[in-house]
Amino acid sequence: MEIKQLKYFVETASQEHMTEAAMALNVAQSALSRQIGLLESELQIELFRREGRNIKLTAAGKSFYEDAVQILESVDQSIQKITNVKDLKKHTFNIHITRSDMTTKVLQSFNHFIKQDASIEFSIHSEKEHTLGKKLLDESLDLVISPGKLDDIQLKNALLFEQNYYYVFRQNNRVNLPVQASLSELEDLPLATFDPVIEMTRLFRNSKIYNYKDLSIIQHLLIHHGYVAIVTNDEAKQLTYNYPNFTVHSLKHLNIKHPMYVSMLKNNDKPFVERWFSQLRQEFMPMYQPYSD
């Protein structure tokens, strides 16, 4: 039994005339008769009886008509649900933004962008870094801003900016670091980081590094236990806001930083994704080399 046969049957029952039903369905009368015959054979019942030039439903046909109408209504509802989901997906902008000093600026750019198109719905995700490429490929994400350049022929990337790091400490008899501390000077002291994106143990191989998700814990360790914090500029500002006596120096001289890329699927069929990708490049990349796949 096919949906087409049910539609032919319901229309024929409504018209009570084979020729008029065929015209309404825009099919040949012979094709309509054949489909009704196949349906009767499958059900092993007679659906219509002739009354002059018209046809009427049999008792069995009336019973089946009610079921056929309900089935077609359910099919229409299911199709509408699927269509609605597709339409929503078509207009939903799914993004991931890895935390950085530029997160606020990125979000300001995004906010300005979506205000220009009222049809765009958006969803900001928080995904594991190692899953981002896969999620772009399966289109559960449309665009990501992250430290990794996603090396896949189906994806394109652009370098936006570099995330720099700083060392923060409370100067005392135990901790007294210069403006450009050497790696060995830093590694002589216990280091605290705030949930870093990059792998700090790879950069400070000879150090005891403690990762925390609460800056108040790091602040306590700096004040009372002689720790040094390795943090971003925004995180350093939060620490010094609460305790202005902290000393803050850049780690640029040790080249401790990581790039931040914007990435998307090359054949993403949502035009607004490409537009924001291009806008981000214009806003963030003046000092870097042009876009590269």
Residue pair 142/90 in contact (Cβ under 8 Å)? The answer is: no
3-state class of 13 per DSSP? helix
Q: Which of 36, 56, 89 is the last residue of a domain?
A: 89
Domain assignment of residue 109, yes or no: no
Give pLDDT, residue 11.
85
Q: Please indicate, yes or no, if residue 17 is contained in any of the structural domains.
A: yes
Residue 291 has what pLDDT? 37
H helix or E strand, kind and range, residue 30: helix 29-43
Neighbours of 219 (CB within 10 A): 21
Range 226-251 average pLDDT: 94
pLDDT tops 80 at residue 143: yes
271 located within any domain? no
| Total-model pTM | 0.66
CATH of the domain at 20: 1.10.10.10
Mean model confidence pLDDT for the chain: 88
Amino acid, single-letter form, for residue 158:
A
pLDDT of residue 290: 40
* Residue 105 falls inside a structural domain: no
Residue-range definition of the domain harbouring residue 243: 166-254
End-to-end CA distance of the chain: 51
Q: Could you tell me which residues come within 8 angstroms of residue 283 by beta carbon, excluding any fewer than 6 positions away?
A: 109
Cβ proximity of 15 and 55 under 8 Å: no
Model pLDDT for residues 9-35, shown as the tens digit of each residue = 888 888 888 888 888 888 888 888 888
Instruction: CATH number of the domain at 185, please.
Output: 3.40.190.10
Q: What is the mean pLDDT of residues 42-68?
A: 86
Number of domains in the chain: 2
What pLDDT shows up at residue 289? 44
The whole-number average pLDDT for the span 83-96 is 73
